[in-house]
């Protein structure tokens, strides 16, 4: 088998046992596994100056020859004759050829490799850990130039695989290490490793005067912060280059002069670096193992590339063939996102409407993101001084593909439905409260009515599955699938066709209103007694977290009621054993009609390029279903607020989202989303109206 990049954004899976033609000076290896590097994802999306198509990518390789000898591969093929090769700096060779760029790489059953590039593995390492020799070699090469000393203080920007490898190496050398990472999902995932190795892993730090700084993410802001955080005479390792076509335009570069900083660039490893890196991997088996996101099959790779490109995940390793060796035991066995492979979500393939929506959803533009961030940075303020408001401004700019974003037209949907699981005693309130609260919405007396009036948000109430009928009302959208779900503690919550109908009707609700009066931002709330049970079960199944870890009190059950809720939900998961990667199946077995409606509305809004603001745990669980069905929706999602329900955090961490506000809310209805919609509108005004340093005649160097 092999994965062939035929054109930008198109990875073709070919089932073949064909071996490359023999060639003098080369050896044919059978690939056991090959890790996915962010460079692979960038070439898939953006191409590369040295890339000749079609091409088999992959350069982090573990493979065996016909005798069973295990090798890793130095990706370079150096000429051996130029000045750099003679200086033993073959990684800078003038005639360098790189496997996976100039020749076919490791995403194949077999690979042809120059004998000069082969590195026998003498260490006791699994093939999965062998694939870390290349990134570890890159880091080792950089640190050799930086020459870290015992007791020095180091700061690393970027807590991905490379950043954490650098942190582990620096800790081995006795350095104090701080790693700055913006993804809460990564911080949560790596918290145990960081604690074990005494690495400070956080989103930001007020500490300064570091001896060493290394930028391990492609961000001009990270580079600038490295410069500011260093003490006089400090050393900066410029490890990760900037994003393609990105520029640095800042007076902070003058600090290199004033502080007499040492700036060292680092490109790639020498062969000797990779050989040495194998020893490091052997000594740090446990730590390196925790950097593995998941071992995947070749057909899954293309669906994972967007999240890899976005820097949202750790290391995926592609299993190309087996050799009977023991694989790495991963402590975190969370199911990961694979969008609609043929053997999953078969029901959705029957829905032309859902398929059409998914087809229209595309990731937001990296080019727009860079331009928007640059515009925000040049406003009359210190970098990052407006906190989350800046991130919101950049996100909405990317969604609208405009540096002057506007959210004229704001709409809130409250989806309502009843739940059969209420008969198990999981709620403090009877199911009749759902009907009463919908009538309260229609009468204008609920909290969400007040919030929407205050912020000028159009409100619509959608009956997806309430166990009653309502008279016609201007606020009411009638999309009832059934009069409540089944009790999912004893059977599936709904049929497959009902789950599809819920998604379709939720999408219809958004699209019909959109045709009447377009909106640029939409909030999604809910009402349904028993729906925190449904949401918690879905989140547990999708994230791999236990019910006991993430269950909450919902409408306010007492301690005895909470124990009953845990018992019921654990029984339901044991009964259904649903696939955590199949959003449709999770909705069918554990969901509610209002969750399906929200899921459909998310897909529809994203397909129309509309920003989606989620609310509490139920809205977030429904957003998670949409994310499982189509991971690209993440770019359009904003987490409105942090709910008191702890399960919401598990879902947000899984999707890599961070809530905008924390007001201790646990109401639902869309109340937290309404507040954040107002903040998004404010961020757009800031983006359009706040002056830059040049416009205001302010010297940016003073900020």
Tell me the pLDDT band of 167, cut-offs 50, 70 and 90.
Answer: very high
Please indicate, yes or no, whether residues 259 and 300 belong to a single structural domain of this protein: no
More confident: 80 or 603: 603
526 is catalytic: no
Confidence category of residue 347, pLDDT binned at 50, 70, 90: low
Section 311-334 average pLDDT: 63
Whether residue 337 is predicted with pLDDT greater than 60 in this model: the reply is no
Catalytic residue among 134, 302, 303, 669: 669
Q: Decide if 55 is inside a domain.
A: yes
475 and 571 part of one domain: yes
Instruction: Identify whether residues 625 and 494 lie together within a single domain.
Output: yes
Residue 595 reports pLDDT greater than 80: yes
- CB distance 463 to 478 below 8 Å: yes
- Here the CATH number for the domain that contains residue 171 is 3.40.50.720
* 63 and 170 fall within a common domain: no
In a domain, 11, yes or no: yes
53 with 157, same domain: the answer is no
Q: What's residue 324's pLDDT? A: 39
CATH number at residue 15: 3.90.180.10
> 472 and 619 in one domain?
yes
Where in the sequence is the domain holding 8, given as residue range(s)? 2-125+293-319
Query: CA 512 to CA 507: how far, in whole Å?
Result: 9
Tens digit of each residue's pLDDT (9 = 90 or more) over 613-641: 999 999 999 999 999 999 999 999 999 99
pLDDT beyond 70 at 304? yes
For position 250, what pLDDT does the model report? 64
Q: Is 396 part of any domain?
A: no
Is there a domain that residue 635 lies in?
Answer: yes
Query: Are 436 and 529 members of one domain?
Result: yes
Could you read off the pLDDT of 644-656 as tens digits, one per residue? 999 999 999 999 9
Burial of 22 (0-12, 13-18, 19+ CB in 10 A): exposed
- In this prediction, residue 149 has a pLDDT band, given cuts at 50, 70 and 90, of very high
Q: Are 240 and 211 found together in one domain? A: yes
CB 503 within 8 A of CB 438: no
Which is more confidently placed, 23 or 413?
413
Kindly compute the dihedral angle of the four CA atoms of residues 302, 308, 313, 315, in this order, to the nearest 10 degrees.
80
Looking at the fold, whether 78 and 198 belong to one and the same domain comes out as no
370 found inside a domain:
no
pLDDT higher at 242 or 451 = 451
Q: In this structure, what CATH number is given to the domain that contains residue 591?
A: 3.40.50.10210
**What are the tens digits of pLDDT across the range 107-130?**
999 999 999 999 999 878 899 999
Has residue 330 been placed in a domain? no
Strands 26-35 and 315-319: antiparallel
Q: Specify whether 71 is located in the same domain as 200.
A: no
Q: What share of the chain is helix, strand, coil (3-state, %, to 5)?
A: 45, 20, 40
C-alpha to C-alpha distances, 546 to 416, 488, 540, nearest whole angstrom: 27, 18, 6
Picking from 471, 667, 423, the residue whose alpha carbon sits closest to that of residue 554 is 667
Tell me what the mean pLDDT of segment 35-63 comes to: 83
In a domain, 477, yes or no: yes
pLDDT bin (cut points 50, 70, 90) of residue 367 is confident
Q: In this predicted structure, which of 132-136, 318-322, 424-428 has the lowest mean pLDDT?
A: 318-322
The winner for highest mean pLDDT among 123-137, 201-215, 514-528, 570-584 is 514-528
Residue at 382 is within a domain = no
CA distance 350 to 481: 18
**183/298 same-domain check:** no
Is residue 41 domain-shared with residue 98, that is, in the same domain? yes
What pLDDT score was predicted for residue 323? 47
Question: pLDDT by residue (tens digit) across 655-674?
Answer: 999 999 999 998 999 999 99
Give the list of residues 6+ apart from residue 478 with CB closer than 8 angstroms, or none.
463, 470
- For residue 16, the model assigns a pLDDT of 80
Domain count, the chain: 3
């Amino acid at each position: 088998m092999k994965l062939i990049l035929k054109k930008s954004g198109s990875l073709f899976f070919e089932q073949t046992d064909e071996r490359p033609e023999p060639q003098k000076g080369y050896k044919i290896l059978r690939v056991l596994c090959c890790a996915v590097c962010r460079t692979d994802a960038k070439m898939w999306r953006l191409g590369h100056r040295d890339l000749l198509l079609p091409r088999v990518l992959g350069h982090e390789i573990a493979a065996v020859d016909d005798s069973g000898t295990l090798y890793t591969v130095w990706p370079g093929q150096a000429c051996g004759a130029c000045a750099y090769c003679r200086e033993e700096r073959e990684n800078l060779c003038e005639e360098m050829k790189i496997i996976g760029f100039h020749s076919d790489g490791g995403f194949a059953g077999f690979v042809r490799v120059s004998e000069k590039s082969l590195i026998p593995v003498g260490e006791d390492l699994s093939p999965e850990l062998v694939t870390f020799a290349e990134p570890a070699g890159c880091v080792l090469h950089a640190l050799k130039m930086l020459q870290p000393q015992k007791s020095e203080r180091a700061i690393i920007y970027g807590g991905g695989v490379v950043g954490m490898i650098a942190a582990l190496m620096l800790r081995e050398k006795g350095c104090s290490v701080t790693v700055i990472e913006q993804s809460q999902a990564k911080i949560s995932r790596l918290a145990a490793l960081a604690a074990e190795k005494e690495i400070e892993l956080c989103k930001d730090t007020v500490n300064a005067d570091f001896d060493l700084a290394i930028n391990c993410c492609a961000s001009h802001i990270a580079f600038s912060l490295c410069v500011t955080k260093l003490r006089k005479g400090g050393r900066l390792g410029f490890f990760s280059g900037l994003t393609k076509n990105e520029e640095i335009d800042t007076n902070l570069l003058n600090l290199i002069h004033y502080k007499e900083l040492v700036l060292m660039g680092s490109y790639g490893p020498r062969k000797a670096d990779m050989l040495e890196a194998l020893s490091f991997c052997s000594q740090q088996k446990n730590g390196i193992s925790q950097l593995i996101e998941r071992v995947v099959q070749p057909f899954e790779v293309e669906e994972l590339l967007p999240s890899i490109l976005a820097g949202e995940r750790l290391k995926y390793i592609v299993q190309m063939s087996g050799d009977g060796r023991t694989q790495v035991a991963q402590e975190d066995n969370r199911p990961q996102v694979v969008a609609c492979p043929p053997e999953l979500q078969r029901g959705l393939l029957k829905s032309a409407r859902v398929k059409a929506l998914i087809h229209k959803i595309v990731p937001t533009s990296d080019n727009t993101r860079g331009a928007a961030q640059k515009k925000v940075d040049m406003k009359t303020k210190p970098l990052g001084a407006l906190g989350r408001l800046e991130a919101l401004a950049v996100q909405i700019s990317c969604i609208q593909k405009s540096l002057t974003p506007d959210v004229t037209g704001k709409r809130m949907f409250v989806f309502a439905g009843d739940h059969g699981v209420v008969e198990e005693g999981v709620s403090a309130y009877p199911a009749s409260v759902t009907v009463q609260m919908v009538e309260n919405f229609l009468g204008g007396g609920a909290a969400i009515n007040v919030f929407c009036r205050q912020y000028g948000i159009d409100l619509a109430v959608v009956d997806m599955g309430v166990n009653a009928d309502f008279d016609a009302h201007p606020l009411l959208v009638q999309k009832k699938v059934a009069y409540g779900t089944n009790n999912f503690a004893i059977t599936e919550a709904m049929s497959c066709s009902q789950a599809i109908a819920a998604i379709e009707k939720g999408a219809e609700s958004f699209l019909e209103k959109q045709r009447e009066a377009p909106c640029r931002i939409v909030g999604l709330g809910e009402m349904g007694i028993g729906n925190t049970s449904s949401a918690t079960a879905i989140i547990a199944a999708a994230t791999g977290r236990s019910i006991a870890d993430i269950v909450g009190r919902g409408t306010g059950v007492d301690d005895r009621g909470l124990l009953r809720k845990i018992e019921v939900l654990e029984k339901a998961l044991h009964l259904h054993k649903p696939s955590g990667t199949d959003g449709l199946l999770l909705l069918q077995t554990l969901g509610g009609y209002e969750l399906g409606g929200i899921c459909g509305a998310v897909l529809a809004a994203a397909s129309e390029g509309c920003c989606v603001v989620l609310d509490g745990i139920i809205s977030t669980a429904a957003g998670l279903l949409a994310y499982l069905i189509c991971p690209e929706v993440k770019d359009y999602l904003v987490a409105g607020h942090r709910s008191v329900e702890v399960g919401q955090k598990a879902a947000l961490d899984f999707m890599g989202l961070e809530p905008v506000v924390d007001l201790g809310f646990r109401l639902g209805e869309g109340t937290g989303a309404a507040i954040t919609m107002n903040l998004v509108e404010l961020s757009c005004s800031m983006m359009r109206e706040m002056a830059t340093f040049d416009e205001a005649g302010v010297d940016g160097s003073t900020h």
